[in-house]
Amino acid sequence: MLRLENINKRFGQFALSDINLNIREGEYYVLLGRSGSGKTLLLELIAGLTLPDSGSIWLDDENITHRKIQKRNTGLVFQDYAIFPNMTVFGNIAYPLMARKTDKKEIFTAVKNIAAGMNIDHLLNRNTPNLSGGELQRVALARTLVTSPRLLLLDEPMASVDASLRDDIKRILRKLNRDGHTIIHVTHDYREAVNLASRAGVIHNGRIIQEGLPAEVFRKPVNRFVARYAGIRNFFRVRFSQERGKWKAICPNKLVFNIEGDNHPGEGLVIIRSDDVKVFREKPAGEFDNCFMGTIADIIPCVYGMELLVDAGEKFFVDVRQEEFEQLEARELSDVWITFPARAAVVLNERI
């Protein structure tokens, strides 16, 4: 449906390089990247607010690279919503319809309907400067959706909303996607990708470095940057060696653990998700690919329980739920055992 081919764009010191993107009808595509990675610029290119230096943009097999902004039929919702402060909520939502010289009665009905759908019909006569972040967000979405654009572009839609309202917004976005809207959503928060995306991509320094199903991207990040975006904290620089057909990773301070795979380079970077590591009070019975004793170096409270930093020669971050933590009776400096399967260790490709 939307295709970006070899897009390049220089913007001062920064450049988007060789961007290729293919978005399918009905897809919810989340593009992850830090601030300054070029994700907003990419949305502006698609919307036509800036033009690429080279490459082409196709929407429904039509080349729209140089098409006027107004004729692109893409709806961009800006990070801080860009609500017009000199108009009421009604004026804002009606704005695109007035620009299309729609009949007044039709405007009135269309605005009423979309406002009801967004649960903001009681705000229509209000001035915008005293609305809350969540309300502004809904007004911005309603204003963009009232003309049914082919493609919805969202720039950090959760960034200016209170944590308590994020679930509401996510629900709205999921519903929009279910109703058939194709969405490109850029964010720096991998949790939004986990919650919403049907496909995710990671952009770093102006390049898309990985794309795929969210589970794939987060399970098997291709490099350190993607791993960091995916919230992974256990990184190990290791040497690889093979013994009797089995691969091992040797850490600088001699901790050795088993990994999977057929072929590895001499050395590289390995990540292990903190929820793949299990922690026990006593040495667990049974066979484990990797089982080490360590001491608890730090205990950090988090939303669902605790994060333990276990020093087993190398430091491992381990997530435990509150009940598990209470059973562990763990304190700082107390001894524990950790296990993780060989498949949990992912070798990153450092050339990307």
Partner 1 sequence: MIRYNPFSWILLVLSSLVLLFILAPLAGLFIHTAPSDFFETAGDREVQQSIWLTLWVSFTATFISALGAVPLAWFMARRNFPLKNVVQGIIDLPVVLPHTAAGIAILGFISRDGALGRAADAVGLNLINNPAGIALAMAFVSLPFFINSARDGFAAVPEKLEKAGLNLGASRSRVFFTISIPLARQSIITGFVMMFARGMSEFGAVVIVAYHPMIAPVLIYERFSSYGLSYSRPASVLFILVALLVFIMLRLVARRKKITQITDDAEA
Which phi and psi angles does 91 have, rounded to 5°? -60, -40
Selected binder of partner 1 within 6, 63, 70, 334 (CB under 8 A):
70
Q: Are 255 and 314 in contact (CB under 8 A)?
A: yes
Selected binder of partner 1 within 12, 35, 85, 301 (CB under 8 A):
85
Which phi and psi angles does 173 have, rounded to 5°? -65, -40
| Min CB(36)–partner 1 separation in Å | 17
Considering the complex, state which of residue 71 and residue 331 has its C-beta at the smaller distance from partner 1: 71
Q: Does 74 help bind partner 1 (rule: CB under 8 A)? A: yes
Query: For residue 141, what is the enclosing H or E element?
Result: helix 133-145
Considering the complex, state which of residue 19 and residue 124 has its C-beta at the smaller distance from partner 1: 124
Selected binder of partner 1 within 15, 87, 297, 299 (CB under 8 A):
87
Pairing of strands 335-340, 290-302: antiparallel
Considering the complex, state which of residue 78 and residue 229 has its C-beta at the smaller distance from partner 1: 78
Q: Does 99 help bind partner 1 (rule: CB under 8 A)? A: yes
Q: Cα(17)–Cα(41) distance, rounded to whole angstroms?
A: 12
DSSP 34-78: -TTSSHHHHHHHHHTSS--SEEEEEETTEE-TT--GGGS-EEEE-
Query: For residue 114, what is the enclosing H or E element?
Result: helix 104-117
Considering the complex, state which of residue 90 and residue 340 has its C-beta at the smaller distance from partner 1: 90
Q: Does 251 help bind partner 1 (rule: CB under 8 A)? A: no
Q: Does 108 help bind partner 1 (rule: CB under 8 A)? A: no
Number of chain positions touching partner 1 (CB under 8 A): 29
Considering the complex, state which of residue 4 and residue 336 has its C-beta at the smaller distance from partner 1: 4
Q: Does 349 help bind partner 1 (rule: CB under 8 A)? A: no
Q: Please count the other Cβ atoms lying within 10 Å of the Cβ belonging to residue 289.
A: 16
How many CA atoms lie within 13 Å of 59's alpha carbon, on the beta-carbon side?
17
> Biggest alpha carbon distance in the chain?
79
| Min CB(333)–partner 1 separation in Å | 52
Token reading at 264: 């590895």
| Min CB(153)–partner 1 separation in Å | 9
Query: For residue 31, what is the enclosing H or E element?
Result: strand 28-32
Token reading at 148: 């049914």
Footprint (CB under 8 A) of partner 1, residues 175-214: none
- State whether residue 320 is helix, strand or coil: strand
Q: Does 96 help bind partner 1 (rule: CB under 8 A)? A: yes
Block residue for tokens 């990247």:
33
Q: Does 143 help bind partner 1 (rule: CB under 8 A)? A: yes
Footprint (CB under 8 A) of partner 1, residues 145-174: 147
Selected binder of partner 1 within 95, 108, 280, 288 (CB under 8 A):
95
Interface stretch with partner 1, choices 108-116, 143-151, 246-254, 282-290 (CB under 8 A)? 143-151
Interface stretch with partner 1, choices 47-55, 169-177, 183-191, 315-323 (CB under 8 A)? 47-55
Q: Please count the other Cβ atoms lying within 10 Å of the Cβ belonging to residue 300.
A: 9
Q: Does 91 help bind partner 1 (rule: CB under 8 A)? A: yes
Nearest residue to 55 (alpha-carbon basis) of 109, 102, 101, 7: 7
| Min CB(75)–partner 1 separation in Å | 7
Helix, strand, coil distribution of the chain in percent, nearest 5: 30, 35, 35
Residues near partner 1, by CB under 8 A: 44, 47-49, 69-70, 74-76, 78, 80, 82, 84-88, 90-91, 95-96, 99-100, 125-127, 143-144, 147
